[in-house]
A and B are shown apart, each in its own frame.
Chain A
Amino acid sequence: MPRCLVCYKWTLDEKDIKIKPDDLSLDTARAKGKISDFDRNAIEEAASLVERHGGVAHALTYGTPAVKQSLKDALSRGPESVYWIADNSAETADGFVTANVLAAAIRKLGPYDLILCGEGSSDLFNQQTAVRIATLLGLPCISFVQKITIEGDTIKATRKLADTTEVATVKGPAVLSVLGTINHPRIPSLKQVLAAAKKPNQEIKIPELGLAPECLQPRAVRKSVRGFAAKRKKITYKETSAAANVANLAGSLAAEGLC
């Protein structure tokens, strides 16, 4: 009957972000928010584990005040309640700050058997939050997990690394980060969406966490962001004769020292 806590991030949907052609700056004005892709997998995993084994799943999120838009979305996907921290510090928070805040919140919320995160957020993909949280809490961490099995208080997780899979066995409590291939997040049915309104949510304010001010100062600071623009030659050979095109291409490749 595991007590699960799943951490998620409310991010901008990168599909909606435009790059301004003149200076390559990002235009996020029309970008909608979404629960970060792999966090959806984490939420789904928590919900399925509870459906299979009993127990309970809560969600936890730290973000800017926009994070309030995520609460019903998260609740419609399975957790029975959501804790949220809305603070402007999230705008510039790096892995150091994020993990400090989440770990402090988890200490405050009390013991969980299983803490789940996505392997990385869809906007920044820094891939460090889960391991950092585990380390701060003194808990074992199993990262990049593709399958979770629970037997009593033992957690068996199959990890998928570049060309290796391995099974890590640990006694809870533990922190796990999950891959996008672990499951297929449910599409919330309408009844689940409407039921979300009745589930509890609770704000946690940063001062309640008792963090020293330096724990909230990012140690990695974003100095500039610009759209990625490839500079390619874009020389296209489109004569009617394939032989002529190939001859031209072969010449160009030879000039580049490639054949």
Chain B
Amino acid sequence: MPGIFIFSEDTALAKQLLTPALELKQALAQPVTALTLSEDSAKELAALGADKAVFLQSASAWPEGLSQAIHGLIAGAGGSVFLVGGTLRGKHVAAHVAAKLNAAMTTDAKSLKIAEGKLLATRLLYAGLALCDEELALPAAVTIPPRTFLPPNAAANAGAVETVKADADPRVAISDVVQGGGTGVDIAAASKLVAVGRGFRNRGDLKLAEDLAAALRGEVACSRPVAEDEHWLPLERYIGISGHTVKPDLYVAVGISGQVQHVVGARESKVIVAVNNDEHAPIFESADYGIVGDLYEVLPLLTAAVRKNGGR
């Protein structure tokens, strides 16, 4: 019986994949199998509604090297849809499996649904300039970016958990693994962001943005020049076409002119606010609310107003 398979080396992301997977289950009447790299992960996914969760037990923890084993499981079961967490590792695994299955593959899908036995997905083209609807014949692989979906609630009945021995690709040896290098802040996970741009005169003035971010219980991010040219903030806080793409509930762009290379990283935020002393700055075209004014005057007042309303 064909089935829907999900995989991510990141458990939190795998849980998010369950949500579209369970929708596809309704549409295709096929079971959902989660493939994981840890036993705990398998149990959690089974508890959230996967009909089966398979822990691939292997000597190597390198996800990419398990692509062949993953393909074996999917092909063996006649997989129809393979949903993969859209990290770079996930994209590698998905492409390997897709090649072996002679299957369609699409990356960074913003939405997906089944129509007439095919998978319909939407994604961006031309560096964010355009949206495209694609129709994928089954079987198909789809990678989904983090935070596109929320994880489902716990299921009434947990699925089965299995362990399977998996052989890793012996040809590639991995060494010198270095994690982080950052301060551990995950800009993309924040629900509120205050982004700073060239409107700030010195590094010390960023405190005004930090105060506002704290009052909002959010994080500080920045445009490219602040990170790459001025080095006032680390690159991991930089939002833009070659930095992070974020979708917070609230994005406050302060002293940012609003060039498309920056805006494309934040334009799916639920609400965008701009503060800029140039009323012709393009950012106002991309914002829901804006204040034309001096950020040095506006920010302290805004922070006070937020605190009064019950922020910190």
Chain A residues within CB distance 8 Å of chain B = 12, 14, 17, 19, 26, 94-96, 99, 122-128, 130-136, 140-144, 158, 161-171, 180, 218-228, 230, 232-238, 242-243, 245-247, 249-250, 252-254, 256, 258-259
Q: A128-B107, A250-B305, A254-B309 are in contact. Are A232 and B169 (CB under 8 A)?
A: no
Would you call the interface of chain B mostly helix, strand, loop, or mixed?
mixed
Report 19 cross-chain contacts, Cβ distance below 8 Å, ordered by A residue: A134-B96, A135-B96, A143-B91, A158-B176, A165-B181, A166-B174, A169-B172, A170-B173, A224-B132, A227-B131, A228-B267, A235-B290, A237-B291, A242-B301, A245-B291, A246-B302, A249-B273, A256-B271, A258-B192
Contacts of A142 in B (CB 8 A): 172
B129 and chain A: residue at smallest CB distance: A14
A13 CB to nearest B CB, Å = 9
- Is residue B288 within 8 Å, beta carbon to beta carbon, of the partner chain? yes
Contacts of A167 in B (CB 8 A): 174-176
Would you call the interface of chain A mostly helix, strand, loop, or mixed?
mixed
A233 near B95 with CB under 8 A, answer no
Contacts of A96 in B (CB 8 A): 98, 102-105
Binds A, one of B29-37, B48-56, B75-83, B119-127: B119-127
Q: A142-B172, A228-B131, A256-B271 are in contact. Are A250 and B309 (CB under 8 A)?
A: yes
Contacts of A170 in B (CB 8 A): 171-173
- Is residue B89 within 8 Å, beta carbon to beta carbon, of the partner chain? yes
- Is residue B156 within 8 Å, beta carbon to beta carbon, of the partner chain? no
Give 6 new A-B contacts, CB below 8 A, not counting A128-B91, A226-B130: A14-B129, A123-B125, A162-B87, A219-B103, A221-B136, A250-B305
B179 near A131 with CB under 8 A, answer no
B88 near A136 with CB under 8 A, answer no
B250 and chain A: residue at smallest CB distance: A258
- Is residue B144 within 8 Å, beta carbon to beta carbon, of the partner chain? no
Tell which of B92, B250, B279, B284 has the most Cβ of chain A within 10 Å.
B92
Contacts of B249 in A (CB 8 A): 258
B95 near A236 with CB under 8 A, answer no
**Once the chains are docked, how many angstroms separate the CA of A169 from the CA of B290?**
52
- Is residue B286 within 8 Å, beta carbon to beta carbon, of the partner chain? yes
**Once the chains are docked, how many angstroms separate the CA of A17 from the CA of B104?**
27
Within 8 Å by CB of A259, from B92, B94, B216, B294, lies B216
Contacts of B106 in A (CB 8 A): 126, 220
Q: A161-B89, A242-B301 are in contact. Are A230 and B286 (CB under 8 A)?
A: yes
Contacts of B127 in A (CB 8 A): 14, 122, 125
**Once the chains are docked, how many angstroms separate the CA of A52 from the CA of B180?**
32
- Is residue B182 within 8 Å, beta carbon to beta carbon, of the partner chain? yes
Q: How many A-B residue pairs have CB under 8 A?
A: 239
**Once the chains are docked, how many angstroms separate the CA of A135 from the CA of B97?**
9
Q: A123-B126, A223-B135 are in contact. Are A165 and B98 (CB under 8 A)?
A: no
- Is residue B209 within 8 Å, beta carbon to beta carbon, of the partner chain? no
A131 near B99 with CB under 8 A, answer yes
- Is residue B114 within 8 Å, beta carbon to beta carbon, of the partner chain? no
B226 CB to nearest A CB, Å = 19
- Is residue B178 within 8 Å, beta carbon to beta carbon, of the partner chain? yes
**Once the chains are docked, how many angstroms separate the CA of A167 from the CA of B176?**
6
A242 near B294 with CB under 8 A, answer yes
Within 8 Å by CB of A245, from B102, B267, B293, lies B293
Within 8 Å by CB of A127, from B67, B91, B236, lies B91
Q: A141-B96, A236-B279, A259-B309 are in contact. Are A226 and B131 (CB under 8 A)?
A: yes
A253 near B289 with CB under 8 A, answer yes
The 5 closest A-B pairs by CB, nearest first: A131-B95, A219-B104, A135-B99, A238-B292, A128-B95
Contacts of A17 in B (CB 8 A): 126, 129-130
**Once the chains are docked, how many angstroms separate the CA of A234 from the CA of B292?**
12
- Is residue B220 within 8 Å, beta carbon to beta carbon, of the partner chain? no
- Is residue B134 within 8 Å, beta carbon to beta carbon, of the partner chain? yes
B134 near A128 with CB under 8 A, answer no
A211 CB to nearest B CB, Å = 12
Q: A128-B105, A228-B128, A246-B301 are in contact. Are A238 and B291 (CB under 8 A)?
A: yes
B232 CB to nearest A CB, Å = 21
- Is residue B44 within 8 Å, beta carbon to beta carbon, of the partner chain? no
A166 near B175 with CB under 8 A, answer yes
